[in-house]
Amino acid sequence: MRVTSPEIHEGIKVSELVEMLGKTAFNARRIGEAAKICEEMVKNDSFVFLTLAGAMIPAGMRKIVAGMMQNGFISSLVTTGANVVHEIVESLGMGHEIGSCYVDDKALAEENVNRIYDVFVSQEAFEKVEEFLSGVISELEGVYASYEFLWEVGKRMNDESSFLRIAAEKEIPVFCPTLHDSIAGLHVMIYRKNLQIDFFRDVSRIIDLCFQKRKMGVIVVGGGVPKNFTLQAMLLAEGFDYAVQITTDSPQWGGLSGATLEEAKSWCKLKPDAKAVTIYCDATIAFPLLYAYLLDSLKENQ
């Protein structure tokens, strides 16, 4: 097959463009390949984990996560405490502002504004998070896994766009192995009375999910703890059948976020014949393209 230049036309659908990219080269082709793998894993009724690291929620990716849950494209989410906190910020109506990386950070501090590269979030937003979470935490008693605790948080969300609310409604496990490494973790420590978070219950649950007798898939956005927590759960099972990774890191530094999916096969976290591709691209570009492709390709076939 020859490399084919995309035939861009007026009114082109995103899914058409992604399909065309699969016939080009470099990371454009990888986006096209990843889209096909994601489509196949969903069509085959696979159990699909989405792992989400980095500042994806402040960057505006929350409705994509929510949409993938709502449409049945993912079966479980593994994310960081930071993304959970910023999801609560959004759900409480505070939001994140378009800012700039070319700014006087000392001046921002004086104005009680926090910066995440080119995104601003006010200190007031975190005060609202504390007010909300303190109420939730003080109501709960007993031992919870992180996903059980986040279901309780989601049940109390009024925002219909909240992926925590959708997860609670659909009983989709949202694992947060770094919950304690976040503002939410600080609030659990401060306001808990008879509440305990048992992270080993998360480990037990995710391993059980990996032992299901069905096709298993994973979409890795970023890397870090969410990636490792999910892939290591397969050490005792048979390995993933499908894997897509979006990262801006590279493998030669030895870090997990840049580790290739081929390397994961050496650990038997992926099956030897697993369909897998890594996209070296900003996730804020690649992730929405994959979701748009899935919406078009899978909804058209329903």
**Catalytic amino acids?**
269
What are the DSSP E strand ranges found in 45-190?
47-52, 76-79, 97-98, 113-116, 119-122, 141-144, 174-175
Q: Are 240 and 249 in contact (CB under 8 A)?
A: no
**Distance between CA atoms of residues 137 and 194, nearest Å:** 9
User: CA separation (Å) from 188 to 123, 141, 177, 198?
Assistant: 19, 12, 14, 12
Q: Tell which residue, 241, 242, 219, has the closest CA to residue 230.
A: 219
Nearest to 18 by CA among 275, 292, 243: 292
List the Cα angle 44/23/29 in 5-degree steps: 70
C-alpha to C-alpha distances, 257 to 6, 26, 223, 246, 252, nearest whole angstrom: 31, 20, 4, 9, 11
Q: What is the dihedral of CA 15, 16, 19, 23, to 10 degrees?
A: -150
Label residue 250 left, alpha or beta by phi (over 0 means left) and psi (-120 to 50 means alpha): beta
Query: 199 Cβ partners below 8 Å, 6+ apart?
Result: 145, 146, 177, 179, 180
Strands 119-122 vs 113-116: parallel, antiparallel or unpaired = antiparallel
Asked if 178 and 184 count as a contact pair (C-beta separation under 8 A), the reply is no
CB-based contact 17:8 (threshold 8 Å):
yes
Alpha-carbon Rg for the chain in angstroms: 20
